[in-house]
């Protein structure tokens, strides 16, 4: 407790802010502290000093509150609904946002009107920053992704590991980096550095103002010498046409896998879109906290969870396909090797806007994938004249009789490609001929020496067999041997027709023909003799035949079963069918009783009435089954027996105990035991809570120790004897800041003091350091700056001495020369 006054108020506020400990300001008469430490405000919140609700929490200033433990609010209208969360400034808010979060945790907000709504490594510093996860420093920034960083003004980092630094800069994809005014990154792992730079291809890089990178991986580069620059044409030029065709065929065979991959990518895009929409809903609520905007968060959260679940389903469906597609991609890369890019393009310009840039100071490349410089191109160019003369020589191809020549593009070597064609109709004139071996074609026809000929006089087989003759169809066609043989077989064959039952065969009107007719083929009538059990049929030729059924009818026996009444079942057989059969109706008697020796059938209602009680008792309830009531009754009796020792016997104890006395009744002893058990339970609960609090305090002490360990003094400087240091420490979810001061009156002595604060566990250290020894060094106590000055002066002295020595050497040389001349004289 300290007396009231400006210095006292300021000191108490500083202590509360820096060390999170309590202090009371009183006036000379010992009246209670001034609520706001001399801050003028009409706000009644925290006016009574009760704005701090959480354990070990501190709220300083009008309208400032803390809800959970180890939190701090300093300033005006700060709303702190987080654990171990620090708010310093005005109108800052830290809270959890359902359905995914119920409170903030471990956040730090410094400035005005900043909002934090998450629990993972959060820092908001400046004004009007909105943070879900990550860090935002500046004004109007949004950091919504895990580990995201947004620095500057109106910048955003919306996805995991994204970074946006600058004015109006946006990191709109996982692991993207955008730096510079209005720079934008919208593809995984992309980098955009420079004003208005943009990256739209995964792992692409855009460097420089207005540069755009939009070309993705898997592009086959330009191949000099290839007829065309398609993947197939380049593969052909590389001599890998078959490999490319095989790869393409396998892609077609596995098109279902690619269809599933397409669905997988679509699910990822849908989940990403839903994630952005829920973050936009969170931002809208932070800017305007209405119930409608709060409801929108729940709706968007449910949509995001649905999209996330669907994406996980596609993950499972794709698992068998990942290896197949990866293997096919690897084969594609092996076909083109270093001609194919495996990552997004690096851009230093903008094709659409006509922006290009030179890349200067490039060293000569050594590997196939290195860039080359102009020097290397000039070296290649110098080799061209050596082959230029040969390259300028051309080969001409001219058309001749029955031959045409046309120019068709260029070949793989870059030269002209000529197509030589034979005329469709070849004219060799009256005396021309074509000869191949023993065969000659001339104006008379075709002649084979020693063989057949086809001339204007006809066809001469040359006494050879003509083979492979197709079967003739027209009267003037040649026939083959198979047709002739078939005619011979028909001529030699003889057909005989014999009559069967009811069939008549006669000679026909033409030679070799027959007339076949049927007789007695149908029945025209019939009669039945009931007395003799006989059926008589009459045919169309008036003949009759009999079927005797007497033996069959006499031997038929009725095999039907019969059903009779029993004690519990009656049979109704009054319903007769048209064919003489009977429909039986069975009636079951249900007049049995739950009684000894009763054999009647009992219904469920009868059992229910016999086994259920009418009203509830102490153990037996009317809505329970018989088994449940018996179990409850058994337990009640067991509890009674266990409580009284033995039913109907004396339950007194033999000797007095700590809580049970022999002269007390069972009820009184049980009451005493119950009170002691309750007291023990309370003490155990307090012990458990204390252990939990101890664990939290250990974490905070660890963080404070780490922060203090980060304080280090600089080297001794006699002109600047004071050093100041700041440090940060983190240990198992707890954070702490430390500040320290170091004073060195001379090189051999140092006094230090430091303190760490944050989370309610504050630490202070102080120390004195000194050296022991003779201290004979002439440079003891000399600073680096003084040594630098002394060395500089010594360098100047040495330089002058060198000049003087040089002058003296020149003088000595002249003197020696004069002496030498005098000797000669």
Per-residue pLDDT of 423-434, as tens digits, reads 666 776 677 777
Task: Read off φ and ψ for residue 295, nearest 5 degrees.
Answer: -65, -35
Co-location of 522 and 603 in the same domain: no
The tokens describing 13, both together, are 């506020």
Instruction: Answer yes or no: do 528 and 598 share one domain.
Output: no
Q: Considering the domain boundaries, does residue 702 fall inside one?
A: yes
**pLDDT tops 80 at residue 626:** no
In this structure, the strands spanning 569-576 and 2-3 are: unpaired
Q: What pLDDT sits at residue 168?
A: 95
pLDDT for 19 equals 37
Q: How confident is the model at residue 461 (pLDDT cuts 50, 70, 90)?
A: low
Q: pLDDT value at position 664? A: 73
Percent of the chain whose predicted confidence (pLDDT) is above 90:
20
Residue 792 above 60 pLDDT?
yes
The residue-averaged pLDDT of 347-367 equals 87
Q: Are residues 256 and 296 in the same domain?
A: yes
Whether 523 maps to a domain, the answer reads yes
Q: Does 520 score more than 80 pLDDT? A: no
Greatest mean pLDDT range, 236-245, 488-497, 747-756? 236-245
Confidence at residue 395, expressed as pLDDT on a 0 to 100 scale: 65
Residues 319 and 253 grouped into a single domain: yes
Q: Which residue has the higher pLDDT, 387 or 686?
A: 686
CB contact set of 94 (below 8 Å; sequence gap of 6+):
79, 80, 81, 82, 85, 87, 104, 107, 109, 115, 116, 117
Whether pLDDT at 588 is above 80: no
C-alpha span between 379 and 382 (Å, rounded):
5
> Please, what is the average pLDDT of the chain?
77
Which residues are CB-neighbours of 625 under 8 A, at least 6 positions away? 611
Give yes or no: residues 318 and 240 share one domain. Answer: yes
Structural domain of 600: 569-611
Is 728 within a domain? Answer: yes
The confidence score (pLDDT) of residue 283 equals: 92
Distance, CA of 756 to CA of 18 (rounded, Å): 8
Taking 80 as the threshold, does the pLDDT of residue 297 lie above it? yes
Q: Tell me: do 247 and 304 sit in the same domain.
A: yes
Which residues are CB-neighbours of 299 under 8 A, at least 6 positions away?
A: 281
Q: What torsion do the CA atoms of 269, 275, 276, 281 make, to the nearest 10 degrees?
A: 150
pTM for the model: 0.47
Q: What is the pLDDT of residues 769-783, one digit of tens each?
A: 877 766 556 666 666
Neighbours of 336 (CB within 10 A): 20
520 and 604 both lie in a single domain: no
- Let me know whether 543 and 579 are in one domain: no
Residue recorded with tokens 């009538």 = 525
Q: Write the CATH number for 765.
A: 3.30.1300.30
CA 756-759-762 angle, to 5 degrees, is: 35
Are residues 232 and 316 both part of a single domain? yes
Least confident residue range of 519-523, 608-612, 762-766, 792-796: 519-523
Residue 94 has pLDDT above 90, yes or no: yes
Please, which residues bridge with residue 89 across strands? 75, 111
Q: Is the dihedral angle over the CA atoms 368, 371, 373, 377 positive or is it negative?
A: positive
Residue range 590-605: mean pLDDT, rounded: 70
Residue 683 counted as domain residue? no
pLDDT per residue over 58-74, tens digit each?
998 888 999 999 999 99
Is the same domain home to 520 and 594?
Answer: no
Higher pLDDT, 153 or 488: 153
Per the structure, how many domains does the chain have? 4
Question: Left (φ > 0), alpha (ψ -120 to 50) or beta: where does 62 sit?
Answer: beta
Pairing of strands 458-460, 453-455: antiparallel
pLDDT band at 273 (very low <50, low <70, confident <90, very high): very high
Q: How does residue 410 score in pLDDT terms, banded at 50, 70 and 90?
A: low
Contact yes or no for 405/417 (Cβ under 8 A): no
Q: Are both 527 and 575 inside the same structural domain?
A: no
Q: Would you say how long the chain is, in residues?
A: 825
In a domain? residue 745: yes
Residue 527 lies in a domain: yes
Say if residue 236's pLDDT is above 60.
Answer: yes
Same domain, 523 and 573: no
Is residue 328 in some structural domain?
no
CA gap 89, 86 in Å, rounded: 10
Tell me the average pLDDT across 190-215.
Answer: 93
Domain boundary among 323, 346, 363: 323
Nearest to 142 by CA among 122, 158, 165, 125: 158
User: Which residues have a Cβ under 8 Å from the Cβ of 639 and sit 6 or more positions away?
Assistant: none
Dihedral sign for Cα 393, 399, 403, 405, please.
positive
Which has the minimum average pLDDT: 63-77, 173-187, 232-246, 605-619?
605-619
Whether 793 maps to a domain, the answer reads no
How much is the average pLDDT of 396-410?
Answer: 71
Phi, psi of 342, deg, nearest 5: -115, 5
Give me the torsion for CA of 713, 717, 723, 727, rounded to 10°.
Answer: -30
């Amino acid at each position: 407790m300290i007396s009231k006054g400006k210095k006292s108020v300021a000191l108490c506020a500083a202590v509360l802010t820096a060390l999170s400990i309590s202090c009371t300001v009183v006036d000379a008469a010992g009246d209670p502290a001034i609520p706001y430490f001399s801050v003028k405000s009409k706000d009644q919140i925290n006016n009574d000093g009760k704005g701090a609700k959480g354990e070990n929490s501190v709220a300083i200033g009008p309208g400032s509150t803390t809800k959970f433990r180890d939190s701090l609010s300093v300033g005006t209208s700060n709303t702190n609904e987080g654990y171990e969360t620090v708010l310093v400034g005005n109108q800052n808010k830290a809270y959890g946002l359902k359905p995914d979060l119920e409170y903030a945790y471990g956040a730090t907000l410094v400035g005005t009107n900043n909002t934090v709504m998450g629990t993972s490594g959060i820092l908001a510093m400046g004004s009007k920053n909105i943070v879900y996860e990550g860090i935002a420093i500046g004004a109007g920034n949004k950091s919504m992704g895990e580990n995201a960083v947004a620095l500057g003004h109106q910048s955003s980092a919306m996805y995991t590991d994204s970074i946006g630094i600058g004015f109006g800069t946006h990191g709109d994809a996982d692991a993207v980096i955008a730096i510079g005014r209005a720079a934008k990154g919208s593809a995984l792992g992309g980098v955009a550095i420079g004003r208005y730079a943009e990256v739209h291809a995964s792992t692409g890089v855009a460097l420089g103002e207005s540069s755009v990178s939009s070309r993705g991986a898997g592009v086959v580069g330009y191949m000099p010498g290839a007829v065309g620059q398609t993947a197939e044409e380049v593969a052909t030029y590389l001599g890998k046409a078959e490999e490319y065709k095989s790869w393409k065929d396998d892609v077609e065979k596995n098109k279902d896998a690619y269809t599933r991959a397409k669905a997988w990518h679509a699910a990822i895009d849908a989940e990403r879109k839903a994630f952005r929409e829920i973050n936009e809903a969170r931002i809208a609520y932070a800017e305007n906290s209405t119930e409608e905007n709060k409801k929108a968060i729940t709706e968007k959260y449910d949509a995001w969870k649905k999209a996330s679940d669907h994406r996980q389903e596609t993950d499972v469906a794709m698992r068998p396909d990942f290896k197949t597609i990866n293997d096919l991609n690897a084969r594609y890369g092996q076909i083109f090797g270093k001609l194919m890019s495996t990552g997004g393009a690096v851009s230093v310009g903008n094709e659409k806007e006509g922006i290009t840039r030179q890349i200067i100071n490039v060293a000569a490349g050594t590997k196939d994938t290195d860039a080359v410089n102009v020097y290397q191109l000039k070296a290649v160019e110098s080799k061209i004249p050596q082959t230029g003369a040969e390259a300028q020589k051309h080969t001409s191809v001219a058309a001749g009789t029955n031959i045409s020549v046309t120019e068709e593009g260029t070949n793989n070597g870059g030269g002209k490609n000529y197509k030589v064609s034979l005329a469709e109709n070849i004219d060799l004139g009256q005396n021309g001929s074509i000869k191949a071996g023993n065969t000659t074609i001339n104006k008379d026809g075709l002649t084979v020496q020693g063989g057949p000929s086809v001339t204007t006089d006809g066809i001469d087989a040359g006494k050879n067999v003509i083979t492979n003759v197709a079967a003739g169809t027209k009267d003037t066609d040649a026939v083959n041997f198979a047709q002739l043989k078939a005619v011979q077989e028909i001529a030699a064959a003889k057909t005989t027709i014999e009559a069967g039952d009811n069939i008549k065969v006669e000679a026909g009107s033409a030679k070799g023909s027959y007339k076949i007719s049927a007789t007695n083929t149908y029945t025209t009538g019939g009669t039945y003799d009931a007395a003799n059990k006989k059926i008589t049929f009459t045919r169309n030729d008036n003949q009759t035949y009999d079927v005797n059924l007497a033996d069959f009818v006499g031997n038929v026996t009725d095999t039907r079963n019969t059903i009779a009444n029993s004690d519990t079942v009656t049979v109704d057989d009054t319903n007769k069918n048209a064919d003489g059969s009977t429909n039986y109706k069975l009636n079951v008697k249900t007049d049995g009783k739950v009684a000894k020796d009763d054999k009647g059938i009992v219904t469920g209602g009868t059992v229910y009435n016999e086994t259920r009680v009418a009203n509830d008792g102490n153990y037996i309830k009317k809505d329970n089954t018989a088994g449940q009531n018996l179990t409850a009754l058994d337990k009640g009796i067991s509890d009674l027996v266990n409580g009284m020792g033995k039913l109907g016997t004396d339950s007194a104890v033999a000797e007095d105990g700590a809580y049970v006395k022999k002269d007390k009744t069972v009820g009184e002893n049980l009451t005493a035991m119950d009170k002691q058990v309750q007291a023990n339970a309370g003490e155990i609960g307090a012990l458990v809570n204390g252990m939990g609090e101890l664990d939290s305090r250990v974490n905070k002490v660890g963080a404070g120790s780490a922060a203090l360990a980060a304080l280090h003094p600089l080297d001794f400087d006699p002109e600047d004897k004071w050093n100041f240091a700041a440090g940060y420490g983190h240990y198992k979810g707890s954070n702490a800041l430390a500040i320290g001061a170091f004073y060195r009156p001379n090189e051999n002595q140092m006094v230090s003091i430091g303190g760490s604060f944050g989370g309610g566990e504050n630490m202070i250290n102080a120390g004195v350091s000194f050296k022991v020894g003779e201290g004979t060094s002439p440079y003891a106590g000399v600073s680096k700056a003084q040594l630098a000055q002394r060395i500089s002066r010594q360098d100047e002295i040495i330089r002058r001495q060198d000049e003087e020595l040089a002058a003296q050497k020149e003088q000595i040389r002249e003197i020696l020369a004069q002496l030498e001349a005098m000797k000669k004289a």
